[in-house]
Chains A and B, each alone.
Chain A
Amino acid sequence: MEILLAIIVGLLYATGIYMMLRRSLVKLIIGLILLGNGANLLIFLIGGLVKGNPPIIAEDAHKMEGLYADPVPQALILTAIVISFGLQAFAIVLLKRAWAVVQTDDLDLMNTTDQTV
């Protein structure tokens, strides 16, 4: 399972970067979304995978028994998902607006602010 997830994380990062390097605005957004998901899965994977033992103390016990799932990475992922959701929503609106104003979705043609003269 770890190996499979590691491969998926790698694939998500790779495709994310690849998509960001394309010239289209839409692919840029897709790239950002894939990267964000890759990072979230990485946190999930790196926190250790434990199946079927949630970090809940049994009613008749005072402490946790055995190997239990670490709740911190899940809290981190939840926060990161919410944040990236907000950012991506903003980015989509921004790119739509940019497309409407600049009249192109080719990033190579959005260079007027980079020109020296």
Chain B
Amino acid sequence: MNQTLLILPLLWQMGMALILIFCWQRPQYHRILSILGNLLGVVLSTLLFVWVSGSGIQVMNTGGWAAPFGISFVVDRFSAVLVLLTSIAGLAVSVASTTTLLGNRIHFGYFPVFHFLLAGLTGAFIAGDLFNLYVWFEIMIIASFVLLSLGGLKAQLEGAVKYSTLNMLASVIFLTAVAVIYGLTGSLNMADLSVKLAAVDNKFLVRIAGIIFLVGFGIKAAVFPLFSWLPASYHTPPAPVSAIFGGLLTKVGVYAMARVFLLIFPDDPFLNNLFISVAILTIVAGGLGAMMQQNIQRLFSYLIVCHIGFMVVGLGLRTEAAIAGMVFYMFHDIIVKTNLFLAGGLIYQIEGHWERRDCGGLYDRYPWLSFILAIPLFSIVGVPPLSGFWPKISLILAAFDLKQYWVLGAILLGSFLTLYIIGVLWIDVFWKHPKKVEDREGFLYYKNMSRKDKLSMVVPIVFLGAVSLYIGFGAEPIQRLSQQIAEELMHPENYIRAVLRP
């Protein structure tokens, strides 16, 4: 098949953004165009996934310049699944964005920027070149800056200042690492780097480059000492924006770490130990931080931090079982975190405020909605048949095999803290007798919303809930897929051969 078709999901998202820019004057069409576009995006990325899982790693060299001289796009199973999940989350969020709650943000280009964000994410997942990865990261973060600050509320701008400063700093650090790597090897193609970096004599400098990468990606992935921008900003924009941020932006940092450290860098015990210690601290810090939050969206933001630790720990253990657990956790986390923030938005619309302690009685008033909201909330804990449970088995088994009891303890503690937090949240929001809170003047409560608005809030939650139920109940094929991916990631020879094609 023609290799150029490989970047079709990416081109389609960029094309969507351009089409929407051309309809700037007719914002009434943006919603329907965006939903249709994302539907086609899901179809395209499903086709890509079927193609790649059928016939192995696919490589596209731009302009026909063979690697390592041209810029390559490489899709292996890991990339293909992430592209697919991005389009699924994108579809759900674009349905959620059709509510009238976004106000006149749509007149200021909400949807075009949203599609640029999806294009940046897709590009980052399929880039086979380190500098190209940097460029997609930049497209992604500038789109996210705009989405975060669009609307211009005081809290949004305060959050955006911290978010954009630290993300720009992360980009500079990433660029510094790219420069050092280029100086060491004279190449930017990831497969080529993997060969050349292993042959570099100056191991110390390689390690330093690794640490610079770790700091750069660590800021984006929100690991322990570097996560402060995340809870300061993620709760400020409207729920659909928080949802796409919470679901995908930090995961792209973890993806970049996995790519760079499993493919490019040779196995280095020092870096692995660094990963493990950072991950343990991330789990504990995120979990403890979430315990004391009253604002529901901020609580979810800290849970993102906590669960990033589960993925980074898999990278640090660096066995096939651990990587399989990390990959599976990432799939589950993308869907469930997106859903969680949408659920938070729904609770806000019902209650009229974010404060956990002033909520109550949701189960009494909306039994069906409570059932729907229970799916993401308990998936994130990992109550057995739901999706969060299965990847933790792989992680815990891997930690046992390596006798890493600190890791084991941290994973269990993290799960327990999550259980406690979600349990308390469930009691506060759903079971407790409601407190009498003054109705807000001019606030559109859920009960007064039009049928169309109600549907646009509930349908994406049901859709993503169904996806996470599928991940939970159909865990076997996904576990098998994760193990295949782990094997691919741990043995990059195939990747290198596919790209460099001797």
Contact = CB atoms under 8 A, between A and B. Distances in A.
Contacts of A76: 131, 178, 182
Nearest to A43: B179
A20 B294 CA distance: 31
Nearest to A28: B165
B235 A113 contact: yes
B93 to A, nearest CB: 22
A102 B294 contact: no
A107 B159 CA distance: 11
Interface residues of A, number: 37
A30 B204 CA distance: 32
B366 to A, nearest CB: 27
A87 B152 CA distance: 18
B160 interface: yes
A113 B233 contact: yes
Contacts of B232: 113-114
Interface string B133-149: 01100100110011001
A32 B170 CA distance: 11
B131 A113 contact: no
B179 A46 contact: yes
B172 interface: yes
B161 A112 contact: no
A25 B157 CA distance: 13
Give the dominant DSSP class at A's interface.
Answer: helix
Given A46-B183, A47-B182, A97-B152, A35 B172 contact: yes
Contact of A35 (B146, B160, B169, B182): B169
Interface of B: 131, 134-135, 138, 141-142, 145-146, 149, 152, 154-155, 157-162, 164-165, 168-169, 171-172, 175-176, 178-180, 182-183, 186, 188, 231-233, 235-236, 292-295, 298
27 contacts: A20-B165, A32-B165, A32-B168, A32-B169, A36-B168, A43-B179, A46-B183, A47-B182, A70-B186, A73-B182, A76-B178, A76-B182, A80-B175, A83-B138, A90-B145, A90-B146, A94-B149, A94-B164, A98-B157, A98-B160, A101-B152, A102-B158, A112-B158, A113-B158, A113-B162, A114-B231, A116-B294
Give the 6 A-B residue pairs with the shortest CB-CB distance, closest first: A46-B183, A98-B157, A43-B179, A39-B175, A110-B158, A35-B172
